[in-house]
Amino acid sequence: MFLEPADRSISRLLKILLIGIAIASIPCSPSAAQDKANHASVWGAMFKSQVARCWRKPIGGDATVEAAFAVKLTRAGWLLEPPLPDGPAVSDFATAYQNSAIKALNECQPYKLPMENYDEWKHFAPVFSERKEPVSSQRKEKTPEKLFTPPNLSICRGC
């Protein structure tokens, strides 16, 4: 039995359609980069909350200050070596800010982070940063929220 040309076209179209349906039904997993970003948001938040409990930020200072570090951790969450600042501090307040961050990083160990993401958090760069509002945009009265605002700790640069 031979198929007519029109029947062959329909047969080919049905095969293509079935292959398309089969491919479309395969679940798509997120890319490795998306997975890493999702993991970093989880372990990063855990790291941030642990460090925030130990950090005693200096009072006063520059309108904007940042202290970035290279951090290496063991599987057990201990610092493998002292946190290394990303660069020199540019003012006395920045030096005090950097020193307070180093003290917090040392005091809060061991860090309890998900072991399945160890390859992501064994070497990373936490950044302690603060951006103060200009005086003109600040409220005149100090609300309780403003008095007890936790330090702004950004977790990953390049994660």
> If you average pLDDT over residues 37-65, what whole number do you get?
83
Assigned domain for 147 exists: yes
Between 38 and 77, the more confident residue is 77
> Containing domain of residue 110, as a range?
31-154
Torsion angles phi and psi, residue 98, rounded to 5: -60, -45
pLDDT score at 20: 47
Looking at residue 35, which CATH number applies to its domain?
3.30.1150
Q: Tally the domains of the chain.
A: 1
Between 49 and 31, the more confident residue is 49
Assigned domain for 14 exists: no
Distant-in-sequence, close-in-space partners of 159: CB < 8 Å, separation ≥ 6: 36, 37, 40, 44, 120, 124, 125
Q: Taking CA 153 as the corner, what is the angle to CA 149 and CA 157, rounded to the nearest 5 degrees?
A: 160
| String of DSSP letters for 117-134 | GHHHHSEE--EEEEEPPP
Give the model confidence (pLDDT) of 110-159 as tens digits.
999 999 999 999 998 898 887 765 555 444 454 444 444 445 556 555 44
Assigned domain for 8 exists: no
Q: Name the least confident of 86-90, 97-101, 127-131.
A: 127-131
Residues 20-40, buried b or exposed e (16+ Cβ, 10 A)?
eeeeeeeeeeeeeeeebeebb
Between 101 and 13, the more confident residue is 101
Assigned domain for 24 exists: no
Assigned domain for 25 exists: no
Average pLDDT, the chain: 75
Assigned domain for 53 exists: yes
Q: Check the CA dihedral 18-19-20-24 and report its sign.
A: positive
Assigned domain for 71 exists: yes
